[in-house]
Structure 1
């Protein structure tokens, strides 16, 4: 008897999309509104993964600045406005991502995105990159009122595409993704090229891979293909 096709849930930033340059640009705009200098991209990349509000807060901390909450919210809005207008200026799908998605779709896999980016921005970014229609669900950090590492958005994404957690996997690049997968009771494949201050192979994922053309074999090793 053939096993049901798996549900594959992808993180977005640092997993499917190289989005750091445009996120850095938005953070630079927010810091400039407070007359603060930009932070090098190499440093910002390790701050990504927890959502825009957290990125602004981490940027201020890195700049050695403590601001009252109302001002932090103002800078957060500056970030959002800038990012909304420039999210796809330099962002692009990682090499091999489209081919991997095509292969999974050809095998009948249910595909979803679960990111801590605001849902409307996740949908817009994937749309501008021509990839939104590949996914049966695009879940953001605000979709269910909680964000990863909580299990709720991951499980919600699986349900939204009619999947079964017993036949699901998370594909991510950070400790947040691994922890969310653990909370949801599903395995996690870690992409080594993403955004994390901790080396990818030390995150505790079930499998770590370096390229999208290794994904099929990784899923097969987990018994999902």
Structure 2
């Protein structure tokens, strides 16, 4: 028997529009430091590199360069606040539920591979009633490595019960494209996520602008890359 075909998703900026709550947590930290807030519209593309980098960039706007101890303190404050407000305004991207239904109906097994902490990822997906959709939800702390290290994708797929030879990655930013390339799997980029570089410039195998396009993109890649039927 062949292993299930697997689609692995990034989380922030791919499955869920988490920007409002992430920027709210950033502004909470900045306010405690006596610094002005960062507008949501100008900070969305700073999110893809993770919470630590988001804080560093928020401070850079005001000319602050935190040392390791200060950054660790600010990160703890950020995570504490964010965990309590993780789904205040975060919502699945339009069309996600139908897209996941379509893939499940075609027999695909679904998983999440994110650089968010695993417990925060599960809390967010629990709050949005999405956790049951995924055979595995793995974060940067699950295996001790983060994207674009291919080990995190390999182990996520294994935990989901799949194999890399039957896997497609879906993401919105450089780490997602990078982890797919290093692991040797096809990758779909979404154009509605968080990236400083336009997703098309990162040269994923397919680009979609709405979740309604996901099923056709996955199926075209399965055929193109000769994934098992």
TM-score (norm 1): 0.95
| Distance in 1 (alpha carbons) for counterparts of 2:97 and 2:88 | 19
Unaligned runs of 5+ in 1: none
User: Contact between 2:3 and 2:161, CA under 8 Å: does it hold in 1?
Assistant: no
Question: Paired residue for 1:37?
Answer: 36
Aligned to 1:106: 105
> Quick check: 1:173–1:193 contact (8 Å CA) kept in 2?
yes
Q: Secondary structure at the match of 1:49?
A: helix
| CA drift at 1:4 | 5.5
Counterpart-to-counterpart distance in 2, 1:38 and 1:156: 38
Aligned-CA RMSD value? 1.4
Q: CA deviation at 1:3?
A: 7.1
Compute the TM-score of the two structures, normalised by the length of structure 2. Answer: 0.94
* In 1: Cα distance, 2:128 partner to 2:180 partner: 26
Write the distance in 1 (CA, Å) between the matches of 2:75 and 2:210: 33
Give secondary structure in 1 for the equivalent of 2:48.
Answer: coil
SS of residue matched to 1:141: coil
2:156 aligned with 1:150: no
8 Å CA contact 2:168, 2:187 repeated in 1: yes
Structure 2 unmatched ranges of 5 or more: none
CA distance in 2, matches of 1:154, 1:61: 31
Pairs aligned (count): 224
1:134 counterpart residue number? 133
**Residues in 2 aligned to 1:9 and 1:72: alpha-carbon distance in whole angstroms:** 31
Counterpart CA distance in 2 for 1:32 and 1:165 is: 44
Shift of 1:68: 2.4
Q: Paired residue for 1:196? A: 195
